[in-house]
Amino acid sequence: FFIGAGAVHWARTLMSDVEIADERHPMAASPEVKAKVMADFAAGAAESGFGRRKLIRNTLFGALALVPLSGVMLLRDMGPLPERKLRTTLWAKGKLLINMNTHEPLRPEDVAVGSLTFAMPEGLSEHDHNFQVEIAKAALMIVRIQPEDIKDKRELEWSHEGIVAFSKICTHVGCPISLYEQQTHHVLCPCHQSTFDLSDGARVIFGPAGHALPQLRIGVNDKGFLEAHGDFDEPVGPAFWERG
Ligand code: FES
């Protein structure tokens, strides 16, 4: 109560009703002041003998020249440069799509309408020491959509009889996508609810993801197995660089 009463009293009686303007003075110092500062600086330098004491001066310059090295050491501590490792995955032309549950190569007839099938590239094994690193980039989800329901022309060209393959890694912060809505062909990321339309180039229709899911171009080899026609043509996962 007393704080409130004090505030009201301050506002009604103590605070001035008169507007007061304080004109801003020029920011730059006058030529006389500048000249005085320079003269004082020169006098101080002459008195200290800094110009004549070459050892002290050169040591100071040497120390300044070495300052950027500390930045180099800090950056080196962050590990080797990723180079192209973040832009490429294990997918390559002719690599078979391996079912992540059965570990068998996938045929078109294995991909049923209405379900999400997860695949990894041929040659990758769960026993490999780099499995987690590689699967985090190469994980694929495959669905079968009626070709006439596919709205995106490039998506249709990169599919095989309506079977489309997209990166399973959400482009927001990289969670694996796992929920599929058959009627709408929408997939939902469980982390922050980004939703992608798999019948329209996997574009984002809801949520914080900034980019569509990258599509993998697929086909069928002469033995009837689904195979990749190359790597993704853009980086998968979170967009820590802008892809335009
Ligand atoms: S990681 Fe998918 S929405 Fe955030």
Residues 65 and 111 in one domain: no
Q: What is the pLDDT of residues 182-221, one digit of tens each?
A: 899 999 999 999 999 999 999 999 999 988 999 999 999 9
* CA–centroid distance, residue 207 to ligand 1 (Å): 8
- Ligand 1 pocket, CB under 6 A: 170, 172-173, 175, 189, 191-192, 194, 207-209
Q: Determine if residue 103 is left, alpha or beta; phi over 0 gives left, psi from -120 to 50 gives alpha, anything else beta.
A: left
Q: Give residue-wise pLDDT tens across range 28-58.
A: 888 999 999 999 999 988 888 777 778 888 8
CATH of the domain at 128: 2.102.10.10
Instruction: Give the distance (Å) from ligand 1 centre to CA of residue 58.
Output: 55
Radius of gyration of the chain (CA): 33
Q: What is the sign, positive or negative, of the torsion defined by CA atoms of 14, 15, 17, 21? A: positive
State the distance from the centre of ligand 1 to the C-alpha of 189, rounded, in angstroms. Answer: 6
> Could you identify the atom of ligand 1 that is nearest to the CA of residue 192?
3
Q: CA-CA distance, 56 to 38, in Å (whole number)? A: 22
Q: Are residues 58 and 122 in the same domain?
A: no
Q: Write out the residue range of the structural domain in which residue 69 sits.
A: 28-79
Residues in the chain: 244
* Judgement on whether residues 154 and 210 belong to the same structural domain of the protein: yes
Residue 175, both tokens: 């969670």
233 falls within a domain: no
Torsion sign over Cα 130, 133, 136, 142: negative
